[in-house]
Chain A
């Protein structure tokens, strides 16, 4: 029996992975070759998707990108024996892209069957949870604090401090909420983890619940991710059957249960207080802080709100020790970050590595430059609210403080590459347009400012009193930054200002000539 892996990750599905799996079964049956097809997550080498792997004596040999139409020929050419072929990538684990990563959070993604509890445990799953349950809760929190783990959702708040606040707040009922409303363009790591290794997220949430004394948890997944919703729901059901969730977790006497809630197409619900409102069944309107969710969160109870990757990093920290995690990274950015390389890039995907690698290395050495083959002109890091960096600034090391010092934001580590045809005035306009579209409407700087921002940029591009309107845009950006209730209005000026700073020519009436 030959084992073949075909990813079920939605990126692979978007290029026909289901058809590839079906064709493989047909082709194998036609030559009387028994095969077992495992639907794994994606390794994150998305330019190779769908990546088919065959288990051989040498290891898992990969072929990609495999189009459904090519399956018959590949099988005839000996794919099931790991034979050479122009699509053959060799032994997948030995590819430089994977070999040069430090995979803690994503250790199992792409390797295992995401819904197999046996696979999970065989590949080191539950080690962290077992350790945690054997420790006093204060030590679990101390381990997370000592590891230096900061929120991976973008804000970078130290996770241990948040947990300690919730733990120290008295309350009969506390919650752990996972923010899986990954709405930023250029980010897909949360989705890939939920689709490729959901048990890690469940394990991380269970550790968090134990540490802070919570008994109920919610995963808030955006509706644009139907595959992730299905996979996490299935995984929760399996975890309950296995006794990893429920009344008596792993025989420890600890109680925690988990529920999946689905968003409905509102970007703002990725903001933690808007997400809590949405979880309560209301409009996703941002709450004023304080009070912080750690004290007054879901239904007014003390609540841990963490991003998917923050929670999914916790099992590895508990399993390997805080010191080992803390030893990775630079300065105040410790551990690993799951960088996401996207947009106009030849080789896009997931690259988990210690903080500190330069953007240049990621984009050029690993990403292979632009997909179009044209020069890189701009790079946006940290999502739609992150700064645009010019091609000359790519020596920046990817860590929180270096980016902040450069007037940019590392955020969640999503990197979107643009070639030299991009019109940066139009990207600045889009930032305002997006904010106008997605603003929750609670505070005026964001609700009205974004609309005015679009109008002012249009006037500048049309050549109407450019100096006066540029000054006005500067004022508006300052007002939005200082006066908005949350990061949506507060950070929308970041891409606008960085575009103005680095690509001023594009804003002249004759600008945008690059396209």
Chain B
């Protein structure tokens, strides 16, 4: 797994072409490598958008309006959870808990966790990100 993390950090996703390479290198079967890559939701099979927005949908964030925030993000971005905007700028994903449960709803914009998100604050953060 540390190898897969490094590959994803370098290339942004785990290309299916690396599976046989890894299998040969580690002396395990391609099925073993494929199995690991597909089991964990972090490993992507294709590149994500430039900005990855993850919104927490676990209980604590739901109690303070996470679902409304997700609906808002879907509407503003014009995509569903799990999709990337056609121009490749934003990928919207769900996550179950970022450990910021007293300051929800929580989201993560690339590496940065953001608390107490409101639709307005989310719009502002996205606009700031996209204007760069």
Contact = CB atoms under 8 A, between A and B. Distances in A.
Interface of A: 10-11, 13-15, 46-47, 49, 182-188, 191, 223-227, 261-267, 278, 281-284, 340-345, 348-349, 371-372, 380, 384, 414, 416-419, 422, 427, 430, 434, 437-438
A430 B62 contact: yes
Interface in B54-79: 56, 58-64
Interface of B: 1-2, 4-5, 32, 35-36, 39-43, 56, 58-64, 95-104, 106, 108, 111-116
28 contacts: A11-B102, A11-B103, A13-B112, A13-B113, A14-B100, A14-B106, A15-B103, A46-B102, A49-B103, A183-B97, A185-B60, A185-B97, A187-B97, A187-B99, A188-B100, A191-B99, A224-B98, A227-B113, A264-B42, A265-B41, A340-B102, A342-B104, A343-B64, A343-B101, A348-B103, A349-B102, A371-B64, A437-B96
Contacts of B98: 224
Nearest to B64: A344
Instruction: From B101, B102, B106, B112, name the one whose CB has the most chain A CB atoms within 10 angstroms.
Output: B102
Nearest to A46: B102
A264 B59 contact: no
A46 B116 CA distance: 11
Nearest to B38: A283
A186 B56 CA distance: 12
B59 A266 contact: no
Contacts of B100: 10-11, 14, 188
Contact of B36 (A225, A282, A418): A282
Contact of A266 (B40, B103, B108): B40
A486 B112 CA distance: 33
Nearest to B58: A185
Nearest to B54: A224
Contacts of A13: 112-113
Contacts of B115: 11, 14-15
Q: Majority SS of interface residues in chain B?
A: loop
B103 A14 contact: yes
B103 A46 contact: yes
Instruction: From A185, A266, A344, name the one whose CB has the most chain B CB atoms within 10 angstroms.
Output: A185
Contacts of B32: 282
Given A349-B102, A416-B101, A438-B96, A186 B59 contact: yes
Contacts of A224: 95, 97-99, 108
Nearest to A379: B63
Contacts of A188: 99-102
B31 to A, nearest CB: 11
A437 B81 CA distance: 14
B40 A416 contact: no
B29 to A, nearest CB: 12
A265 B102 contact: no
Contact of A265 (B40, B56, B64, B103): B40
B101 A348 contact: yes
Contacts of A263: 40, 42
Given A278-B1, A344-B64, A266 B41 contact: yes
3 closest A-B pairs by beta carbon, nearest first, are A348-B102, A185-B58, A264-B40
Contacts of B56: 185
A226 B100 CA distance: 13
Given A185-B96, A261-B1, A343-B63, 8 more contacts: A188-B99, A261-B2, A262-B1, A265-B41, A342-B102, A343-B64, A416-B60, A416-B63
A342 B115 CA distance: 13
Contact of B41 (A11, A264, A341, A414): A264
Instruction: From B2, B62, B100, name the one whose CB has the most chain A CB atoms within 10 angstroms.
Output: B100
A12 to B, nearest CB: 9
A185 B59 contact: yes
Contacts of B43: 264
Nearest to B41: A265
B112 to A, nearest CB: 7
A264 B4 contact: yes
B1 A418 contact: no
A342 B98 CA distance: 13
A186 B113 contact: no
A188 B58 CA distance: 13
Contact of A340 (B1, B36, B101, B103): B101
A467 to B, nearest CB: 28
B116 A427 contact: no
Nearest to A269: B40
Contact of B102 (A182, A227, A262, A341): A341
A88 B113 CA distance: 26
A281 B111 CA distance: 24
A491 B35 CA distance: 26
Nearest to A367: B102
